[in-house]
Amino acid sequence: MRMNFQSKKMSGSASKDRMIAKFMQLTATGEKTASFCLSIHGWKLDEACDYYFSNPEKYARDHKQQIMVDRKKIQHLFDRYRDPSADVVSVSSSHDGLLRFFQDIQLD
Mean pLDDT confidence for 18-22 = 96
Indicate if the pLDDT at residue 28 is higher than 60: yes
Calculate the alpha carbon distances from 5 to 1, 11, 16, 18, 23 in Å: 7, 10, 17, 20, 27
Q: How does pLDDT run across 34-60, given as a tens digit for each residue? A: 999 999 999 999 999 999 988 887 887
pLDDT at 14: 87
Q: Please, are residues 23 and 29 in contact by the beta-carbon 8 Å criterion?
A: yes
What is the average pLDDT value for the chain, to the nearest integer? 78
Please state the pTM of the whole predicted model: 0.50
Radius of gyration of the chain (CA): 22
Q: Please, are residues 21 and 45 in contact by the beta-carbon 8 Å criterion?
A: no
Q: Please, are residues 31 and 37 in contact by the beta-carbon 8 Å criterion?
A: no
Q: Please, are residues 67 and 60 in contact by the beta-carbon 8 Å criterion?
A: yes
SS3 89: strand
